[in-house]
Structure 1
């Protein structure tokens, strides 16, 4: 659809191709897929900052407890607990039952109903939120403490770089010496006895998981954050969800409310910039065409781009072309030249930063003006205006071309966002239940062609159940249970209606008929034509068998109704607790391979008090596996 007469190319500046940065000031993230951004204030420009880590590693004087509001605070010699009903903080112990053990507490940790406090070379551990003192550990230079899921206690000491693990009774279990840089100022425990550490190496903070450096994103994915949003020397703030949105509550270190919130500014520098090397087009006297900027620009931040073109890489300070503020797509208004140099500036209010993802440089200039007759391009000024004017329409057409080119990606279940999955499923006639997660929906969409091609077959139904519920079912077609012909192990001339080794059952055995059926030998049925019983018995019926507890039977039943053919009728049954002799059982559904109980015959235990050997009327070869043997008939106990 594009109207440009010649082929154009472009050069990308991003983390994959490279930014070609030359002079950099207060900008980081050139190798980060997230994008280029302003540096953090302090000696750790790439972060993370202490403010970022507060939700997972709060101030040692603070500890989140049970529920969103269960916070504990050390204030002087007191341990306070947040009381949302009273609107403030209240002492854990009433004045008449205060144990008065704390002298100068420095750190607190809470998990469930257990509390641990570091105080003057000792570590106290209580149960029932302070009602029962369970352990007192003497440990000098203890700084931070954490409680694990298995009632273990982790204590880190100042300058030692060690973590001591104690049992519920206060006995030392092991000493861990993690290979980390800096002083340990925070300890958290995760699932599977995972230990997360926060260290301070000067002004630089590092996060470790089991001794390996980790990022803030990995920390956030493994541990839920608390509601602590900011903290400084004067107090702290908690941001919690309320009925009308987020509510921020601020307190000083004595537990008293604060009118002014704790400022969160100062996280980023306010300005940063970088300049690229000379970008070579490979074309002498190249007319550079267009610059496009892809960036996230929050409120209070800005991104500015300037370019300069030269033939030999030399230019003056006045030659720069700076795009207007907020413009992310502009034409290059420079003389022809082989080289282009870009200068990017980022600015913010110190609480947020713009994030630059990509710069795209299009060259050489090629517009639909090249298709006009020469008479329209004789005047240089008019020619320049015509090119710039038609570039507006060329850009719109190029966007349409881009949408057309990317249209196949919209049909890729692995590439579309989660919110687009119902729309994509609607194109294929699929419907999702509310409880299905995004990976399950993607697998269903991807398997839709195969499921539609085999729809109505047992393998398609089995595949659908396996995708949605993650369990492999057994599809039992009941038509195979017809008793009109049954293979027998032996056949005798006296067998009724015997044909070789197959015994055929007559109509009198299929349903009760007066004058021909034996009373109690045939079922009583009052529907259908008895002459069509050989064809309709269990016809178009199937059963889905699942292991016990593998999936919700109602959810499986709804899926079976949608996937089964209209003329069939299916049922769903989950496995029981064991194997029942005489009842149809399925291996993996109703059975489990477990050791057999001790063999006992009457009061005699085999291999101890008795031996089975051939009886008076039995075969001479004794008891055989797979051969029917009756105790006392074919065998006897001696």
Structure 2
């Protein structure tokens, strides 16, 4: 569709190909930009000694100051005062910090406290050579864990305590009484400066390698991997801690009239609220590339495209210079228009190009440059014009730049058309595109289905649509969503008055996927008196009472267009399963859902593996609160001496009397 005579060559600058930074100090004024190995892009550096980020202030709600620990109640907090060897606590109703142990009951066990941690009603205080563990929020000392150079502790599930020591990236596992359970190898780089435990025995680590803070997640039996701040926020709810400085800390909590900010000193005394700092980033930074080589002498560079996110209060400025021998002056730089992310190169031909990027902000936000694309050599639809239109060099340059506007628009359309088939691949599109793709196929997703389930449904949609309304399609849909294959029991089989199960289950002509086999009660023979109660012909309790329909039509109308989906107990959400069955069932049928767990009665409709449990029978007792009736619901058992002999084929035997299953 494009009008250009041949595809142009391009060069990418990003974390995958490389940003081609100039050597440090080679260009004046460079610096203040980080993230050259981050796939998200480059950005302004953070202030302080850790320019790469995320900042310590941002992670305070999940990894608080070592002197602070949130309690089990929403507004409860513990505060450690190392200089006074004192542990304070604030209750669930807020207010002031008070000692955990009143002076009259203070055990006086704290010597050199370092940090404090809490989980539920357990409390752990780390000292220079040991870890003290309390239960009942400090009312009962559970144990003393001797360990060398401890720094952090975190109570974990199963009455376990994890301890991180100085100079080590491994975690030591103890029980609350001090018993050693082993070492948890993390394999992370840097020093552990934060430790948290989460649901499903997940362990979260905050590390400092000297240049950046890193977040890692793992646990027993699971390797530790790098995580993002967004993953941390999704897995653990943040605490109310919003700031911590040398003068104190502040908590942003919910009050009766809305959010309230309460600030305290490190001794637990109230203080005036301090506005949080907004200068998390440096206000300016620049980056210069090396000489990007086109490999073409006297190359006419064509276009520069900058893919960036620019929040309010920030800016991105791009400058380029083209040279043939690598030498240029300060006045040779071409600056793009403010805010322009796509512009043409207006420079003399040259083999090399150098790019300079300037980022600026207000300190509270930063622009993020994801990638930069350099197109060369210049290729436009003007190359398709007759030579008579290109004799004047100045007019030819204007024509090329003018037609480049239209070429750029056509190129965007070409790119969308080229990528369109990829949008129909459920295995390759992002998770946020899955609902859109499902809308094209007429599928609807439940809110609780994960991305893997949605992708599997989309991949199976063509075959599910082709065989929709068949037992196979219903079983396959349930298997994909809930991970278990159900039993689809078609009740219409019960209306036959004489049938063989093996013959019924055999696949019919043109049908596949139905399993054949013999089950309990492979032959069923009965007459009219068993289908509907008839006076003078049916035994009491042996036939259902029906006051509708023609009795002569029972062989055809009984259970017509009815089916039942059977699943083991606890294998699926029953309400979600009912909704799925309603959407997958043909319009003229009625489906019901049944899960096991309530037992079964021999002689009634039962499915082995769904509501069957083989357990010993209770001893029969005559009389009592639940008396049994002989010849109805009782099974005679052998005497105390045990059965005299087993059951033999060809011998008269009674199941439950002479039978022993072994």
**What is the Cα-based RMSD across aligned positions, in Å?**
4.2
Q: Does 1:469 align with 2:453?
A: no
Counterpart of 2:136 in structure 1 is: 128
Q: Does 1:277 align with 2:302?
A: no
Q: Please give the alpha-carbon distance, in whole angstroms, between the structure 1 residues aligned to 2:113 and 2:39.
A: 43
Shift of 1:563: 1.3
Indicate if the aligned counterparts of 1:292 and 1:360 stay in contact, CA closer than 8 A.
yes
Q: Does 1:14 align with 2:14?
A: yes
Q: Does 1:536 align with 2:557?
A: yes
Q: Does 1:263 align with 2:277?
A: yes
Shift of 1:109: 1.0
* Alpha-carbon spacing, 1:419–1:242, altered in 2? closer, same or farther (3 Å): farther
* Alpha-carbon spacing, 1:612–1:67, altered in 2? closer, same or farther (3 Å): same
Indicate if the aligned counterparts of 1:279 and 1:341 stay in contact, CA closer than 8 A.
no
Indicate if the aligned counterparts of 2:314 and 2:365 stay in contact, CA closer than 8 A.
yes
Indicate if the aligned counterparts of 1:206 and 1:213 stay in contact, CA closer than 8 A.
no
Which of 366, 369, 373 is the matching residue for 1:353? 366
Counterpart of 1:33 in structure 2 is: 39
Indicate if the aligned counterparts of 2:124 and 2:132 stay in contact, CA closer than 8 A.
yes
- The 5 Å alignment of 1:406-555 reads 406-486=419-499, 507=528, 510-512=531-533, 517=537, 520=540, 523-555=544-576
Shift of 1:229: 3.9
Counterpart of 2:312 in structure 1 is: 299
Q: Which runs of 5+ in 2 are unaligned?
A: 25-30, 503-521, 620-634
Q: Please give the alpha-carbon distance, in whole angstroms, between the structure 1 residues aligned to 2:207 and 2:7.
A: 54
Counterpart of 2:375 in structure 1 is: 362
Q: Please give the alpha-carbon distance, in whole angstroms, between the structure 1 residues aligned to 2:168 and 2:434.
A: 53
Q: Does 1:397 align with 2:410?
A: yes
Which of 584, 592, 602 is the matching residue for 1:581? 602
Counterpart of 2:638 in structure 1 is: 602
Deviations along 1:546-591, whole A, 9 cap, x unmatched?
1112223233222222211122222211113445322332232123
SS of 1:215's equivalent? strand
The more displaced of 393-402 and 363-372 is 363-372
Counterpart of 1:495 in structure 2 is: none
Shift of 1:180: 6.8
Indicate if the aligned counterparts of 2:307 and 2:371 stay in contact, CA closer than 8 A.
yes
Q: Does 1:148 align with 2:156?
A: yes
The more displaced of 242-251 and 529-538 is 242-251
Q: Does 1:108 align with 2:133?
A: no
Q: Please give the alpha-carbon distance, in whole angstroms, between the structure 2 residues aligned to 1:381 and 1:240.
A: 67
Indicate if the aligned counterparts of 2:151 and 2:166 stay in contact, CA closer than 8 A.
yes
TM normalised by structure 2 equals: 0.78
Shift of 1:458: 0.3
Which of 225, 228, 231 is the matching residue for 1:217? 228
Indicate if the aligned counterparts of 2:52 and 2:211 stay in contact, CA closer than 8 A.
no
Which of 62, 68, 81 is the matching residue for 1:62? 68
Give the paired residue count. Answer: 611
Shift of 1:174: 5.3
Which of 648, 656, 661 is the matching residue for 1:623? 648
* Alpha-carbon spacing, 1:407–1:246, altered in 2? closer, same or farther (3 Å): farther
The more displaced of 319-328 and 346-355 is 346-355
Q: Which runs of 5+ in 1 are unaligned?
A: 490-500, 614-621
Deviations along 1:196-223, whole A, 9 cap, x unmatched?
5555566765666579774342872765
Deviations along 1:378-437, whole A, 9 cap, x unmatched?
544444334333322332232233333333334343445555444433332233344444
Counterpart of 1:253 in structure 2 is: 266
Counterpart of 1:498 in structure 2 is: none
SS of 1:408's equivalent? helix
Shift of 1:465: 1.7
Shift of 1:333: 0.3
Q: Does 1:286 align with 2:294?
A: no
* Alpha-carbon spacing, 1:298–1:88, altered in 2? closer, same or farther (3 Å): farther
Which of 231, 238, 242 is the matching residue for 2:244? 231
Shift of 1:536: 2.2
SS of 1:448's equivalent? helix
Q: Does 1:568 align with 2:589?
A: yes
Deviations along 1:446-492, whole A, 9 cap, x unmatched?
32222111111001111122222232110011222234214599xxx
Shift of 1:439: 3.8
Q: Please give the alpha-carbon distance, in whole angstroms, between the structure 2 residues aligned to 1:192 and 1:114.
A: 18
Counterpart of 1:71 in structure 2 is: 77
SS of 1:23's equivalent? coil
Q: Please give the alpha-carbon distance, in whole angstroms, between the structure 1 residues aligned to 2:357 and 2:39.
A: 18
* Alpha-carbon spacing, 1:290–1:207, altered in 2? closer, same or farther (3 Å): closer
Shift of 1:336: 1.9
Counterpart of 1:493 in structure 2 is: none
SS of 1:612's equivalent? coil
* Alpha-carbon spacing, 1:206–1:331, altered in 2? closer, same or farther (3 Å): closer
Shift of 1:538: 2.5
TM normalised by structure 1 equals: 0.81
Indicate if the aligned counterparts of 2:261 and 2:273 stay in contact, CA closer than 8 A.
no
Q: Please give the alpha-carbon distance, in whole angstroms, between the structure 2 residues aligned to 1:513 and 1:336.
A: 103
The more displaced of 595-604 and 294-303 is 595-604
SS of 2:581's equivalent? helix
* Alpha-carbon spacing, 1:422–1:197, altered in 2? closer, same or farther (3 Å): closer
Deviations along 1:335-366, whole A, 9 cap, x unmatched?
12233232333344555433221111222323
SS of 2:356's equivalent? strand
Indicate if the aligned counterparts of 2:130 and 2:146 stay in contact, CA closer than 8 A.
yes
Indicate if the aligned counterparts of 1:440 and 1:467 stay in contact, CA closer than 8 A.
yes
SS of 1:107's equivalent? strand
